[in-house]
Structure 1
Amino acid sequence: MKSLKKITSLLTFILVLSAGFIFAQDRAISPNQLPIAAKKFLAGNFKGIAVGSVIEDREIYGVDEYKVYLSNGVKIEFDSQGNWKEVDGKHQKLPYGFIPAGIRNYVVKSFPNTSIIKIEKERWSYKAELSNGVDLKFDKNGNFSKIDD
């Protein structure tokens, strides 16, 4: 009887695990299939740079995020609504138009010979990586909080 329960438990576990793999998949999509907010972000901040590929990360409950890879190597992650979550310039200077003014101003004033090459928007903060390797943390309003290790 115990072995039957173990077998049933094992089969149930395998079924749940395989269902997760079936429904949670990444797939390539056309840039036209991105949410409107993501399309506007790309057009406003990366005009003239071709989109290399777009990956839609699907979870059981729906789309979790979109990953956009531009032809110049920049990677942008958007949430399911098309709001940017992370922009990674892959060691290239990012355009400052979408970066909150407090962050831009702090970097220009405190690190005049550097540029932001990566920025992440977290739930209550921002994290920016500079071209000199320094990582900075800011609060949700763009106020400097600390140098991140």
Structure 2
Amino acid sequence: MKNVKKITGAFMLIFLLIGGVLSAQDRAISANQLPKTAKTFLYTHFKGIPVSSAIEDREIYGVDEYKVYLNNGMKMEFDSKGSWKEVDGKHQKIPYGFIPASIKNYSTKNFPNTFIIKIEKKRWSYKTELSNGLELEFDRNGNFKKIDD
């Protein structure tokens, strides 16, 4: 009898996990459906560059993140509230207006003939990619930590 309960419990767990995965899905949305914070970010730092597509990544508990693709090929990721998580210029220089000053200053001072083509904001750090292929890591206050090539 104990084995039957264990097997039944295992099957129930498997079905719950499968149901959770199936209910998580991406859906295309218009740029107007993005959170206000994301729309303001795009207007401020990428003014004049049209959005080619926007994707809402939904999980069972709600929206997890938004992905935005611009007509010039650049890609952004925003959290569920519309705060930027990643900006990928796809080998193009990204605007520096939203990048912490210490990161911008370190990059331009120590690598003068390069520019930032990608930045990712994590919980405790930032990671940037330069046009020469180097990846720089910074702490959450923008202090340089290491080069990750």
| CA distance in structure 1 between the partners assigned to 2:10 and 2:123 by the alignment | 37
**Cα drift, residue 135 of structure 1:** 0.5
**Cα drift, residue 17 of structure 1:** 2.3
Partner of 2:40: 40
**Cα drift, residue 21 of structure 1:** 2.5
Secondary structure in structure 2 of the residue aligned to 1:114: coil
RMSD between superposed Cα atoms in Å: 1.5
**Cα drift, residue 5 of structure 1:** 4.1
Structure 1, residues 11-48: CA drift from partner, whole Å, max 9, x if none? 31342123213321111111111110000000001111
Superposition misfits of 4+ residues, deviation over 3 angstroms: 1-7
Normalised TM-score (structure 2) = 0.92
Partner of 2:144: 144
Range with bigger deviation, 5-14 or 120-129: 5-14
Unaligned 5+ runs, structure 1: none
Secondary structure in structure 1 of the residue aligned to 2:98: coil
Partner of 2:58: 58
Unaligned 5+ runs, structure 2: none
Q: Which amino acid aligns with 2:35?
A: P
Superposed, 1:1-149 pairs within 5 Å as 1=1, 4-5=4-5, 8-149=8-149
Secondary structure in structure 2 of the residue aligned to 1:57: strand
Secondary structure in structure 2 of the residue aligned to 1:58: strand
Q: Which amino acid aligns with 2:134?
A: V
Normalised TM-score (structure 1) = 0.92
| CA distance in structure 1 between the partners assigned to 2:136 and 2:21 by the alignment | 36
